Amino acid sequence: MKLGPVIAIVVVALFLAVGGGVYYLITSLDSLVKSGIESYGSEITGSRVRVSSVRIQLASGRGTIRGLRIANPKGFSSSDAFSLGEITLDIDPGSLTGEPVVVDEIVIRAPLVHFELDAKGDSNIEAIKRNVARYQGGSSGGGDGDGGGAAGPAGPLLSVTRFTFEEGKVAADTAAMGGDVQQLELPPLEMTNLGGSKGASPDQIGKAVMNRYTAVVGKVVARYGAELLIDEKLGGQEGEAAKKLLRGILR
């Protein structure tokens, strides 16, 4: 057999192999992203992370993640600490070849936070925050619109134009402290310019978002507990006036 035809066959086989690999990557992208979120998320939070489905559209730079759940850390109930109904991402495709990668918008719809206290007064949310901080080695976050952020331990630099939580609820469970379970509405939360023009690492941005959102959850739960105490101790017009003042403080 002459060398020319052999080379031609090898080249054709190489292109077929490369083409097959690209096809596999594209057709398997959703499952790869799902697996990555579950594996990497579990490592960061110290709790099991599960995802129902992932849908990535490369050409338009859009993605949808449904049914993301973060289990409670050890020492708490078998319930999930976080349940995020739907996450949509809108990425600027033109920024994917450089840094920072520009994410025009991230919207999280119907997040449910299961806030739980143990007998010592520690919360599951604070336990997860400590796990995240431990994973990050105590590095500081990218901030909420402060335009800063050096590269973290992993991932490309990101610049997130708008980050929104919508239709959120918190199930406050204080049974371990003698209380009960109450489902409360969470106010919408919007964060802008995360990472700034230079970008920040994914875990820096994630830390900034978690700190901001858990602070909101803490205020809602604190207000609920304080209003119960006001009703118990005051009641009537004095109680309503005290609750109005409290809402202004914990706004």
Q: Where are the domains of the chain?
A: 3-212
The CA distance from 251 to 243, in Å, is 12
Beta strand pairing status for 181-185 and 101-116? unpaired
| Least confident interval from 56-60, 74-78, 134-138, 188-192 | 134-138
pLDDT over 50 (residue 33):
yes
CB 218 within 8 A of CB 126: no
Confidence grade of residue 179 (pLDDT, cut at 50, 70, 90): low
How many CB atoms lie under 10 A from the CB of residue 116? 24
Beta strand pairing status for 53-57 and 181-185? unpaired
Summarize pLDDT for 186-229 with one digit per residue, the tens.
Answer: 889 999 999 999 999 887 888 788 888 888 887 777 776 655 54
What's the confidence (pLDDT) of residue 36? 87
192 phi and psi, to 5 degrees?
-130, 155
